Chains A and B, each alone.
Chain A
Amino acid sequence: MIGTIPAIALVARREIVERIRERSLWVSTGITVAVLAGVLVLPTALGFGGATKGTVAVSGPQAASAARQAVAGQGAFDVQLTIRRVSDDAAARRLVRDGDADVAVLAGGRALFAAQGADDAVVSAVQAGSQAARGGRLPPPLPVVTEGGSSSSDRQGIAFVAVVILYGQLLGYGFWVATGVVEEKSTRVVELLLSAIRPRQLLAGKVIGIGLLGLGQLILIGLCGVIIGAASGQLDVNGDVVAAVGVVMLWFLLGFALYSCAFAVAGALVPRQEEIQAVTAPLTILILASFFLSFGALDDPSSTLARVLSLIPPSAPMVMPVRLIAGNVPAWEVVLSIALTAAAAAALIALAARVYGAAVLRTGSRVTLRAVWRAAREQEPAGRRA
């Protein structure tokens, strides 16, 4: 009899080999890359960019007046500035370092502190505002100190693209798991498979195989995106971009671990492909809701709602990556979020392993989760005996 690891590896290998042969995988990869290229290249190519957005952090009346002057003259620089008032210079610097502001006006309007990747037009507008605020015959420009990573709007853009890709990938590959399970069930090939290997091995192989394929596709899409962005000059390929790609990979794996087993169980409950939509609807809604909730985190990565949603499992795989890319997240929150999601995934995998075997052999009509759970409990002693 074949061992557990070789059995899982064989099932996973079949999933990968057979799906790579299908045209649909390449079509979907092509579409994603095309959309990504569109997002990266089209807006500026067509002149749709509009005013560049920027945030100015200020403390004290002189600095605030410089910022107001900058807003008054922003039209000339084709920028749109938002002013954030903070208590002192230290807080203003922090906003810039955290990526929540592009420029800070410091020392009562006598110094500027800009993020490394801040848009030149934004910095120039603030520079001009500060000169206007000091009045008179064009005083010399303020010294600009730069630090930190990309501008907040750039990071928002990357976070948006990242969460869209994550959403598509989690939903798409989750759905693939469900249809794969139903295919085996509706063609009855599962009966032949389970006469050779155990349900857990089949489930694990399927989920791992499809997950690896999803990860591979992500790497391919990430590479294409970076290459297109760099070639078109629209994307500064810096540490932020590389980190964002890494964040997306990590959270795809965590999210897939969380959702895929639920999709497998859902698939095992129905006898025909036609019923997949209905039985996976709760999962689809959960993922869709997490996706939309992540937009809130995009606007304000540090809001209480965003922080809570980025910690708890169903929404964490989409909200946490947005916060990680768009803002700054304390390390303990990242660790807690990963731990909670991994724990939830482990619990779901254990549950799925029990329920899947009982559900997948019940052909004919749709079965309820409750009936399957009962059957799984009854089978357990028999399973141990065997």
Chain B
Amino acid sequence: MRIVLGVLEPDAGAVRWKGRPLDAPARARFGYMPEERGLYPKMRVADQLVHFARLHGIGAADARAAAARWLERLGLGEVADRRTETLSLGNQQRAQLGAALVHDPELLVLDEPFSGLDPVGVDVLSEVLRERARAGVPVVFSSHQLELVERLCDAVAIVRAGRVVASGRVADLRARRGGRRWRIAVDGAREDWVAAVPSVLVAHVDNGAVVVELEEGADEQALLDAARRAGRVRRFAPEEPTLAQLFREVVA
């Protein structure tokens, strides 16, 4: 992310935007939220946003209007004239987001934007990000709150030790990893019925059902037959992994 914003020089490779090598004027149209938060502690929140908008090339009057609009939107209207250091951490975080959004960027790059936010703040930020994405602004953000990522993101990339180990649309990733896991609830069966099915690799009991992982290429119909022999099958469904499970698997 820091390389994209030109804050760090890449050791190798290049950053391209709209098919062309990224240059400073294009970069100035990006919005950035660094992982290590940074605003001038003694500056008033509104002045701060106006300053950053103007540094990105917005005129004085437009900058003031945009700052006021975003402060209102982010729930900071009442503290707009207070020094940034006097705000709660959650509100400072919102102000930081304001600094990334105030110049109406063409691309948003946010490093861990949700960390440190209270649940209301998370809702506000989620809504803002969805709204920006609907308006055609690509939003790239990093996060370890994977349920949130699952709800918000179209596509994800899982990075491990600086390398992308999995990437794609969330549904595709889940489906690709799925297909071998099944959740089965059988009434009146003996607990160890699964052990008798030869193609089962792993199984565990979860919430009154048994979750089974089959060998690669195994036929799930054989599993269903075994279940029916064991008792009355109430439920037989593919178990798609959550993003968190996927993450554990690819990073482990």
Q: Nearest B residue to A18 by beta-carbon distance?
A: B43
Q: Determine if B56 and A196 form an interchain contact, defined as CB atoms under 8 angstroms apart.
A: yes
B52 at the interface (CB under 8 A from A): yes
Q: Determine if A386 and B6 form an interchain contact, defined as CB atoms under 8 angstroms apart.
A: yes
Q: Determine if A188 and B54 form an interchain contact, defined as CB atoms under 8 angstroms apart.
A: no
Instruction: Sort chain B's interface into a size bin.
Output: 20 to 34
Q: Name B's interface SS.
A: loop
Residues of A within 8 A of B32 (CB): 191-192, 195
Q: Determine if A191 and B9 form an interchain contact, defined as CB atoms under 8 angstroms apart.
A: no
Q: Nearest B residue to A383 by beta-carbon distance?
A: B9
A6 to chain B, nearest CB (A): 8
Residues of A within 8 A of B186 (CB): none
B64 at the interface (CB under 8 A from A): no
B201 to chain A, nearest CB (A): 46
Q: Determine if B7 and A18 form an interchain contact, defined as CB atoms under 8 angstroms apart.
A: no
A198 at the interface (CB under 8 A from B): yes
B1-17 with Cβ < 8 A to chain A: 2, 5-9
Question: Complex Cα distance A284/B47, Å?
Answer: 34
A329 at the interface (CB under 8 A from B): no
B38 at the interface (CB under 8 A from A): yes
Q: Determine if A188 and B6 form an interchain contact, defined as CB atoms under 8 angstroms apart.
A: no
Please tell me which one of the listed residues A10, A361, A363, A379 contacts residue B55 in the complex, with CB atoms under 8 A apart: A10
B37 at the interface (CB under 8 A from A): yes
Please tell me which one of the listed residues A10, A187, A192 contacts residue B99 in the complex, with CB atoms under 8 A apart: A192
Instruction: Sort chain A's interface into a size bin.
Output: 20 to 34
Q: Determine if B6 and A191 form an interchain contact, defined as CB atoms under 8 angstroms apart.
A: no
A3 to chain B, nearest CB (A): 8
Residues of B within 8 A of A189 (CB): 38-40
B66 to chain A, nearest CB (A): 14
Question: Complex Cα distance A198/B38, Å?
Answer: 17
Say whether, besides A2-B28, A187-B39, A386-B24, A193 and B34 are in contact (CB < 8 Å). Answer: no
A382 at the interface (CB under 8 A from B): yes
B30 at the interface (CB under 8 A from A): yes
A10, A187, A363, A382: which has the most chain B beta carbons within 10 Å?
A: A187
Q: Nearest A residue to B2 by beta-carbon distance?
A: A191
A55 to chain B, nearest CB (A): 53
Question: Complex Cα distance A187/B96, Å?
Answer: 12
Q: Determine if B9 and A382 form an interchain contact, defined as CB atoms under 8 angstroms apart.
A: yes
A1 at the interface (CB under 8 A from B): yes
A190 to chain B, nearest CB (A): 7
Please tell me which one of the listed residues A11, A14, A18, A194 contacts residue B6 in the complex, with CB atoms under 8 A apart: A194
Q: Determine if A195 and B27 form an interchain contact, defined as CB atoms under 8 angstroms apart.
A: yes
Say whether, besides A7-B55, A10-B51, A10-B54, A195 and B6 are in contact (CB < 8 Å). Answer: yes
B49 to chain A, nearest CB (A): 11
Residues of B within 8 A of A361 (CB): 7-8
Could you list which residues of chain A lie within 8 angstroms of chain B, going by C-beta atoms? 1-2, 7, 10-11, 14, 17-18, 22, 183-184, 187-198, 361, 363, 379, 382, 386
